[in-house]
């Protein structure tokens, strides 16, 4: 297998594994190593490497945000209620960023927000989505900026 194909496979693996919040940190580290090898192989400058890293991160974060959106939509039944089985699943998966009590609070507020509206399901969904995305994206963006800083420092050596 060609070296670039290996990189591509690793990158696809990173994106697939991104669905699990816990593996995210490991994936970021792996991506960091891949990029560093890229730098050595193609003799890229520090700024090109950081730009490349940020582009990949942007694509991955967008993918992740879309994933959360689909997740929340699946959580809501046709009546605008949250299904318990899915709620438990969400609690488990998001426990890294949102604790169960806070999630209970957010979902409760979202249901209360949507209940007197013309389209309760949509309103509930749109109230909940930015809260969860903000909670998850905030630590993720911190990790991205720390890693960008690392890469930039390492590349300048």
Partner 1 sequence: MLGHLEESVLVAVLELEKTDGGAFGLSVFNKLKELGINVVNGTVYNTLDRLQEKGLLRSEITEPIAERGGRRKRIYFVENKGKEVLKEAYLKNRKIYAAWEAGLNNA
Q: Which of 132, 144, 129, 128 is nearest to 24 (CA)?
A: 144
Q: Is 70 exposed, middle or buried (0-12, 13-18, 19+ CB in 10 A)?
A: exposed
What's the closest the beta carbon of residue 91 comes to partner 1, in angstroms?
12
91 or 152: whose CB is closer to partner 1?
91
- Compute φ and ψ for 76, nearest 5 degrees: -90, 130
34 or 122: whose CB is closer to partner 1?
122
56 or 133: whose CB is closer to partner 1?
133
Instruction: Name the site residues for partner 1 (rule: CB under 8 A).
Output: 81-82, 101-102, 104-109, 111-113, 115, 127, 130-135, 138
44 or 143: whose CB is closer to partner 1?
143
Question: How far is it, in rounded angstroms, from Cα 97 to Cα 90?
Answer: 11
- Read off the tokens for 81: 């209620």
What's the closest the beta carbon of residue 89 comes to partner 1, in angstroms?
16
What's the closest the beta carbon of residue 14 comes to partner 1, in angstroms?
26
* Cβ atoms of 128 and 107 closer than 8 Å: yes
What's the closest the beta carbon of residue 134 comes to partner 1, in angstroms?
3
Paired residues of 82 in beta bridges: 76
């Amino acid at each position: 297998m060609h070296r670039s194909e290996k990189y591509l496979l690793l990158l696809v693996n990173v994106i697939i594994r991104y669905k699990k919040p816990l593996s995210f940190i490991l994936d970021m580290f792996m991506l960091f190593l891949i990029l560093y090898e890229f730098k050595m192989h193609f003799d890229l400058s520090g700024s090109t490497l950081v730009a490349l890293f940020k582009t990949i991160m942007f694509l991955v974060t967008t993918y992740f945000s879309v994933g959360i959106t689909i997740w929340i939509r699946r959580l809501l039944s046709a009546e605008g209620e949250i299904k318990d089985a899915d709620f438990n699943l969400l609690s488990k998966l998001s426990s890294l960023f949102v604790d169960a009590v806070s999630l209970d609070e957010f979902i409760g507020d979202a249901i209360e927000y949507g209940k007197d509206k013309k389209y309760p399901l949509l309103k509930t969904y749109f109230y909940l989505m930015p809260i969860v995305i903000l909670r998850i994206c905030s630590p993720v963006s911190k990790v991205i900026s720390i890693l960008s800083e690392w890469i930039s420092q390492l590349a300048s050596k």
